[in-house]
Structure 1
Amino acid sequence: MGGATTWLNSPPISAADLRGNVVLINFWTYTCINWLRSLPYVRAWAEKYRDHGVVVIGVHTPEFSFEHDLENVSRAARDLRVSYPIAIDNDYVIWRAFYNHYWPALYFVDAQGRIRHHHFGEGAYEQSEIILQHLLAEAGIGGIGDELVSVDAQGVEAAADWGDLKSPENYLGHARTEHFASPGGAALGTRRVYAAPARLSLNRWALSGDWTGEREAIVLNTANGRIASCFHSRDVHLVMGPPARGTPVRFRVFLDGQAPGAAHGIDVDEQGNGMVTESRLYQLIRQPKPIADRQFEIEFLDVGVRAFAFTFG
């Protein structure tokens, strides 16, 4: 696996080391909600087939700048129980070698080193595991049976509520953001005081308070700034980080102007209180049915937060 800048959970692995094994290569980046929801299956396959000739390799290719930080990736791997070998692909060498464009992406390699199948995005878990079993059988490795793994995905790893999902991912940095609704539009690369409309239409978002819009993120300059979004989904996630390690940022979450109560996510209590302690994806809302258009707001009680992207589920 040439091109990795370093490895986690393993010494460097070469193509020669993998000869004779079935290999599952999983491209990921640790804040990607689509990868997080596929992780329970990859984790289960790695455990089930580890002693039957399957090597799972996670290729961590970063999306955001903070995902280049090895300490951040190491912490995420520990927290998310990613114990299989991880190739750190900070320079996108492996990504380009596979002509890959997706997180997550699975590549299935047979015992002769040939890519036999691939899958991009979530889903097709039964089909993927059957392919692993087929490649093992081709390699003469038996005694596994055809039973498939069963997972109990919790928290951010739980499958999306696809039937009620009407809000797409949206980046907040000026390079890729859409549907910004604060009066006057976004001031790119400069500091500005924003105001938010009283109500937003579906999938529009807005700022209030003193913010600077950067390419990847928006950065809060004074306390009590807010981000608002009108969404239609079970879950609301926000990728965000503190101004520096060891400098947490307190926040409060509101749903239609009230504390979220039973609709709070795992990173928020019923009163809507939470804290940004590290750069990662935070689950802020997980609401019970019925799902309708709702207005989400998050108020930051301390300065310096960096907010990168909304995802929904």
Structure 2
Amino acid sequence: MSFQMRRITLGVAFLTALFLTIAIACGPSAEPAASSETSPAAPATAPAAAADQPAATAPSADTKANRTDGTSSEQPTAAPDQQAAADPTATSAPSRPQTVPIQSAEDIPTIEGIDAWLNTEMELQIAQLAAEGKVVLVDFWTYTCINCIRTLPYLRDWWAQYEDDGLVILGIHTPEFEFEKDYQNVADAIETHSVGWPVAQDNNMTTWRNFENRYWPAKYLYNVRGEMIYSHFGEGAYAETEERIRNALVEAGADLSDDPFNAPQDQARDPAFQSARQSGRAAVTPELYAGWHRNFLTARAGRPPYVAQQEYFDAILNAEDRTEHTVATIEVMVPQDIQPHAMYFQGQWSVEPERIRHARKTENLEDYLALNYAAKSVNAVLTSDSGEPYRVIMTVDGAMMTPENAGEDVQWDENGVSYILVDEPRMYALVDNPQYLHESILTMRSDSDDFGLFAFTFGVYAEGP
């Protein structure tokens, strides 16, 4: 082993030990667990910081496997400080029972450590609601989580249909990123997504831990005796979940005879993706995180990191007095041949724990990021430190975007330049292709030094993000 490799390996070991100490303090962080027949190609030259890493053996690495058959976009997001020690790249996803043994009323987790309640004037507890004859559906979510966003239409339907019959939905908002702890950000998201049921801000993960929860989104159903009778993690199984809700309401005395059960359908996958899957070419880029915390945790798990440039890792490894808050600036170039399923950066960028940020103001859009992805839709979590809006110019395969392939947040100026306007911290819909693409290169450019990227997510549904 060369001196350089030994130095880098020791640096990763240091950071690994650091993560084991600060996992809880850093807050929940990971990507959706996934299963697949194939794995994405690693960068042509794997970053040394990601090389020679042991498999994950302790609960501090990402549990979202870098799998690419499309199921990654549908599986729940898992918090790394609570992941299973099993190989995260195994074909089967982490154990996620759709039903659970009935949990007695004496074991009802307490909702506590709440920073604020929204959509209610009082604090709520499952035991008290059950004593009042209510059926309670607890939903763990966070507002930039694509998996959570996809479940909200179903929750809205259940709330509208069954609230008068005795259903109470309790939203537990446990943040994945630091900015998701902000009360106004959560309040704005609740308004944007028409969330009408009570929501508790669980910023310190106290209630999350009381439930021994591991995923966003996660649903737990309680009957009027205070027993947990059903749970589901991730997207899908909407018909089964609604049927369980209806059964619990009928048992509680609700009359649903005039309210027929129209079983909701899970979201349909794109036909082109289905065809590619049958031919064995159904790669889908997994969720990609831009912050160095997750990149090093992923490297520790023995998987390709989300950023494919060695300079990114060297900047953290070479930083003096490294802590969980270390920030470092890099100047990098995008290579001619960019490999799939990884991010590349051009110019000056600030490598930060949860994100990467454009590190200077420019005038000619000379700095950019590039991504070779496989999906039908692409989304990104973006913020602005100053609070001032900024433009990010978007191109796909070297051309400006069109209404045919643009996500709902894309706009065009008078010259036909496609861009998004980042004016609040949230998830932005960037790309919505007419059909699934096995390979396409997305570039994003901005002159603003507020340009901050947290994560990319991808979808293969016929409709929606």
The TM-score, its normalising length taken from structure 2, stands at: 0.63
SS of corresponding position for 1:176: helix
Give 2:378's match in structure 1, choosing from 222, 228, 236: 236
Give 1:147's match in structure 2, choosing from 253, 257, 261: 261
Aligned partners of 1:95, 1:139: CA distance in 2, in Å?
27
Give 2:307's match in structure 1, choosing from 180, 184, 192: 180
Where do residues 53-202 of structure 1 align in structure 2 (5 Å cutoff)?
Answer: 53-144=166-257, 145-148=259-262, 161=270, 163=274, 166-177=284-295, 178-182=305-309, 184-186=311-313, 187-188=315-316, 189-202=327-340
Task: Give the conservation status (yes or no) of the 8 Å contact 1:25–1:107.
Answer: yes
Task: Give the conservation status (yes or no) of the 8 Å contact 2:374–2:436.
Answer: no
Q: Greater helix share, 1 or 2?
A: 2
In the alignment, what sits opposite 2:354?
216
**Could you list the per-position Cα deviations for residues 206-249 of structure 1 after superposition, in whole angstroms to 9, with x for gaps in the alignment?**
0112111011001111233311111010011111101232x112
Shift, 1:308, TM fit: 0.4
In the alignment, what sits opposite 1:9?
119
Shift, 1:185, TM fit: 4.2
> What is the aligned length?
307
User: In structure 2, what residue type is equivalent to 1:235?
Assistant: S
Aligned partners of 2:230, 2:331: CA distance in 1, in Å?
51
Q: Which runs of 5+ in 1 are unaligned?
A: none
In the alignment, what sits opposite 2:389?
248
CA RMSD across the alignment: 1.9
Task: Give the conservation status (yes or no) of the 8 Å contact 1:129–1:148.
Answer: no
Change (3 A) 1:59 1:159: farther
SS of corresponding position for 2:155: helix
Aligned partners of 2:263, 2:244: CA distance in 1, in Å?
13
**Could you list the per-position Cα deviations for residues 252-311 of structure 1 after superposition, in whole angstroms to 9, with x for gaps in the alignment?**
111011112121101112542111111111110000125230011111131122210110
Change (3 A) 1:86 1:16: same
SS of corresponding position for 2:410: coil
Q: Greater strand share, 1 or 2?
A: 1
Task: Give the conservation status (yes or no) of the 8 Å contact 1:44–1:149.
Answer: no
User: In structure 1, what residue type is equivalent to 2:370?
Assistant: A
Shift, 1:150, TM fit: 5.1
User: In structure 2, what residue type is equivalent to 1:13?
Assistant: L
Give 1:267's match in structure 2, choosing from 390, 409, 412: 409
Task: Give the conservation status (yes or no) of the 8 Å contact 1:165–1:312.
Answer: no
Query: Which piece of structure 1 moves more, 265-274 or 290-299?
Result: 265-274
Shift, 1:147, TM fit: 1.5
User: In structure 2, what residue type is equivalent to 1:311?
Assistant: T
Aligned partners of 2:269, 2:162: CA distance in 1, in Å?
26
Tell me whether 1:207 sits opposite 2:330 in the alignment: no
The TM-score, its normalising length taken from structure 1, stands at: 0.92
**Could you list the per-position Cα deviations for residues 56-94 of structure 1 after superposition, in whole angstroms to 9, with x for gaps in the alignment?**
111100000000000100001001111110011111111
SS of corresponding position for 2:208: helix
Task: Give the conservation status (yes or no) of the 8 Å contact 2:289–2:306.
Answer: no
User: In structure 2, what residue type is equivalent to 1:16?
Assistant: Q
Highest CA radius of gyration, 1 or 2? Answer: 2
User: In structure 2, what residue type is equivalent to 1:252?
Assistant: I
Give 1:296's match in structure 2, choosing from 439, 442, 455: 442
Aligned partners of 1:169, 1:242: CA distance in 2, in Å?
21
Task: Give the conservation status (yes or no) of the 8 Å contact 1:41–1:149.
Answer: no
Task: Give the conservation status (yes or no) of the 8 Å contact 2:381–2:425.
Answer: yes
Task: Give the conservation status (yes or no) of the 8 Å contact 2:405–2:434.
Answer: yes
Change (3 A) 1:204 1:150: same
Aligned partners of 1:101, 1:250: CA distance in 2, in Å?
36
In the alignment, what sits opposite 1:277?
423
Give 2:137's match in structure 1, choosing from 24, 28, 42: 24
**Could you list the per-position Cα deviations for residues 88-128 of structure 1 after superposition, in whole angstroms to 9, with x for gaps in the alignment?**
11111110011001000010010111111100000000000
